[in-house]
């Protein structure tokens, strides 16, 4: 199968973060500061990525503002004519930092929010961040940058969806991602506290439709589906090693941010290998390209070109075999694993939110 060129690179500059969200997309094994790539290696990664065909960089973490070299990396990315997106909690975004980042050439900033009220938001984040986010939103706009926001939706905040949209609109957001939690790493540890009931989701979808009507002309709303409640899996990452890649804080190169969960694969590192080789030739990036690796029921399924068998990380986490059909699929022999969790959510205690927080 011919290898396509990647459009986007997610640069996880650090796993350090003042927030401790119970659904954090970082792996459970967080990289320490001393393992982070130094500035010159990140600069080199940007150059290699641009050469390889990457057009867009997402600087994220952890909290990328904890890297004092962030402005320098942004500036270099813009010199290479890359589109620069910064994904941040907003904590640490002073007036000065916001204007320096704008001046360095950030194209857009995505600010996270946890809930509509400070009390709930701070209990979800495990840190008093909400007021700092409000200030960050103002600073982003004052620096002349478009404000994009995201919220991860789960059991404790789904019923507040209307208020969350209203809050983001009042902060001046032009775009808001309403992302239902996905159950990997930290979110899997906290699934009992996070996974909503079906009725909750249906109410939230109705609230989403109302918000579209009310705010749709002011703010672009995106609804990211809760895949446990779907019949068929998501076309994860547009296929393994097809559109984008992630460089983790320690320099390992992954087909997606959750891929380090797949313990049966080993991932190459930019300290040892060229990015182009890793993308084109490494065993990890080629492991699930195309269709030849698929066992049944995916192998003979007419949907395989729509969803590529779903998510490899989810298949590994739930079945122990990364080649298996994503258990979200009704045709998967392991669908019962997802059904059991959905059943447990329906009968669990909705009020209890004692999270397993990540360390800092």
Task: Compute the least distance from the CB of residue 200 to other proteins, in Å.
Answer: 26
Structure tokens at 317: 């986490």
In sequence order, which residues have a C-beta less than 8 Å from that of residue 285 and are 6 or more positions away? 240, 241, 245, 253, 255, 278, 279
Strand positions, DSSP E, the chain: 8-12, 56-60, 83-88, 108-112, 147-153, 175-180, 220-224, 244-247, 253-254
Q: Is 39 in the site for other proteins (CB under 8 A)?
A: no
CB of 17 to other proteins, least distance (A): 21
User: Which span sits near other proteins by CB under 8 A: 26-34, 79-87, 120-128, 261-269?
Assistant: 79-87
Query: Structure tokens of 239?
Result: 């296929």
Chosen residue from 10, 110, 180, 332 binding other proteins by CB under 8 A: 110
List Cβ neighbours of 169 (8 Å cut-off, separation of 6 or more). 215, 218, 219
Considering only residues 182-201, where is the footprint of other proteins by CB under 8 A?
A: none
Binding mask 121-160 for other proteins (x = CB under 8 A): ------------------------xx-x------------
Residue 109 or 253: which CB sits closer to other proteins? 109
Q: Which of 134, 138, 159, 175 binds other proteins (CB under 8 A)?
A: 175
Q: Which residue lies nearer to other proteins by CB, 47 or 220?
A: 220
**Considering only 81-89, 91-99, 178-186, 195-203, which stretch makes contact with other proteins by CB under 8 A?**
81-89
Nearer to other proteins, 53 or 283 (CB): 53
Closest C-alpha to 325, from 289, 299, 351, 352: 299
Residues 85, 57: contact at Cβ < 8 Å?
yes
Stretch that binds other proteins, among 25-33, 80-88, 253-261, 313-321 (CB under 8 A): 80-88
Phi, psi of 65 (to 5 degrees): -65, -15
Q: CB nearer to other proteins: give 51 or 296.
A: 51
In the complex, minimum distance from the CB of residue 175 to other proteins, in angstroms, rounded to a whole number: 7
What single DSSP character describes residue 251?
Answer: S
Interface with other proteins (CB under 8 A), residue from 28, 41, 83, 304? 83
Cβ 90 to other proteins shortest distance, Å? 17
In 3-state terms, what secondary structure has residue 50?
helix
CA distance 84 to 282: 27
For 87, phi and psi rounded to 5 degrees? Answer: -110, 115
CB of 44 to other proteins, least distance (A): 18
Biggest alpha carbon–alpha carbon distance for the chain: 57
What residues from 3 to 32 belong to the interface with other proteins (CB under 8 A)? 5, 7-8
Give the whole-angstrom CA distance, residue 120 versus residue 228. 25
Of these, 32, 33, 38, 51, which contacts other proteins (CB under 8 A)?
51
Q: Is 55 in the site for other proteins (CB under 8 A)?
A: yes
CA dist list (Å): 159 to 124, 149, 156, 198, 281: 15, 18, 8, 12, 46
Long-range contacts of 266-269 (CB under 8 A, 24+ apart): none
| Complex with other proteins: residue 83 or 208, whichever CB lies closer | 83
Instruction: Spell out, one character per residue from 201 to 230, where the chain touches other proteins: x when CB under 8 A holds, - when not.
Output: -------------------x----------
* DSSP, res 261: G
Q: Is residue 44 within the footprint of other proteins (CB under 8 A)?
A: no
Give SS3 for 208: helix
Q: Does 47 bind other proteins (CB under 8 A)?
A: no
Q: Verify binding: residue 81, other proteins, rule CB under 8 A.
A: yes
The number of residues that bind other proteins (CB under 8 A) is 19
The footprint of other proteins (CB under 8 A) covers 5, 7-8, 51-53, 55-56, 81, 83, 85, 107-108, 110, 145-146, 148, 175, 220
């Amino acid at each position: 199968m011919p290898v396509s060129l990647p459009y986007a690179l997610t640069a996880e500059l650090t796993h350090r973060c003042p927030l401790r969200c119970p659904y954090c997309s970082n792996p459970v094994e967080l990289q320490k500061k001393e393992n982070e790539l130094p500035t010159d290696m990140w600069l080199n990664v940007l150059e290699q990525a641009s050469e390889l065909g990457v057009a867009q960089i997402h600087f994220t973490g952890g909290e990328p503002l904890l890297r004092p070299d962030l402005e320098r990396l942004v500036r270099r990315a813009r010199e290479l004519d890359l589109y620069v997106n910064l994904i941040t909690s907003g904590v640490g975004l002073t007036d000065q930092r916001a204007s320096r980042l704008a001046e360095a050439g950030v194209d857009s900033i995505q600010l996270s929010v946890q809930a509509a009220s400070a009390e709930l938001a701070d209990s979800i984040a495990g840190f008093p961040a909400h007021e700092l986010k409000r200030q960050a939103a103002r600073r982003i706009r004052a620096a002349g940058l478009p404000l994009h926001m995201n919220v991860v939706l789960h059991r404790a905040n789904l019923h507040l969806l209307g208020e969350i949209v209203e809050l983001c609109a009042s902060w001046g957001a032009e775009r808001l991602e309403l992302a239902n939690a996905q159950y990997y790493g930290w979110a899997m540890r906290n699934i009992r506290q996070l996974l909503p009931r079906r009725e909750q989701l249906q109410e939230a979808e109705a609230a989403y439709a109302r918000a579209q009507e009310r705010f749709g002309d002011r703010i672009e709303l995106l609804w990211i589906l809760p895949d446990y409640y779907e019949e068929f899996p998501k076309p994860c990452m547009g296929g393994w090693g097809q559109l984008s890649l992630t460089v983790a804080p320690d320099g390992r190169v992954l087909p997606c941010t959750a891929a380090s969960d797949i313990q049966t694969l080993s991932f190459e590192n930019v300290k040892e290998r060229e990015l182009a080789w890793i993308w084109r030739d490494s065993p990890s990036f080629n492991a699930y390209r195309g269709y030849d690796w698929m066992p049944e029921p995916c192998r003979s399924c007419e949907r395989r070109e729509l969803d590529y068998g779903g998510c490899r990380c989810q298949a590994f986490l739930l079945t122990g075999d990364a080649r298996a059909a994503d258990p979200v699929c009704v045709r998967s022999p392991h669908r019962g694993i997802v059904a059991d969790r959905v059943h447990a959510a329906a009968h669990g205690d909705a009020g209890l939110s004692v999270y397993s927080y990540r360390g800092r």
